[in-house]
Amino acid sequence: MSTRFQRWILPGLAFKAAVIGGGYATGRELAEYFIPSGPQGGVMAILVAMIAWSVLCALTFALAHATRSFDYRSFFATLLGPFAFVFELAYLVFMVLILAVFGAAAGAIGEAVFGLPKLVGTLALMAGIGAFTAYGNHSVERLFKWVSFFLYGVYVLFFVFVLASFGHQATTQFATPVSTDGWLSGGLTYAGYNIVGAVMILPLARHFLTRRDAVVAGVLAGPLAMLPGLLFFVCMVAWYPSIGAEALPSDFMLRQLDMPVFHVLFQLMIFSALLESGTACVHAANERVAAAWRTRRHAELSNVARFAIAGALLVGSIFIAQRFGLVDLIARGYRALAWLFLVVYVLPLLTVGAWRLRQHATRQLAASHP
Q: What is the pLDDT of residue 369?
A: 66
Q: Are 23 and 273 in contact (CB under 8 A)?
A: no
pLDDT tens digits, residue range 243-270? 999 988 999 999 999 999 999 999 999 9
CA pair distance 17, 29, nearest whole angstrom: 16
Q: Are 244 and 39 in contact (CB under 8 A)?
A: no
Determine whether domain 4-368 maps to CATH 1.20.1740. Answer: yes
Higher pLDDT, 326 or 146: 146
152, with CB counted inside 10 A (0-12, 13-18, 19+), is middle
Higher pLDDT, 283 or 337: 283
pLDDT tens digits, residue range 186-198? 999 999 989 999 9
Q: Are 66 and 356 in contact (CB under 8 A)?
A: yes
pLDDT tens digits, residue range 162-182? 999 999 999 999 999 999 999
**Phi/psi of residue 118, nearest 5 degrees:** -55, -30
Mean pLDDT of 225-249: 94
Mean pLDDT of 24-43: 92
Cα–Cα separations (whole angstroms), residue 213 to 11, 12, 158? 10, 12, 33
Q: Are 228 and 147 in contact (CB under 8 A)?
A: no
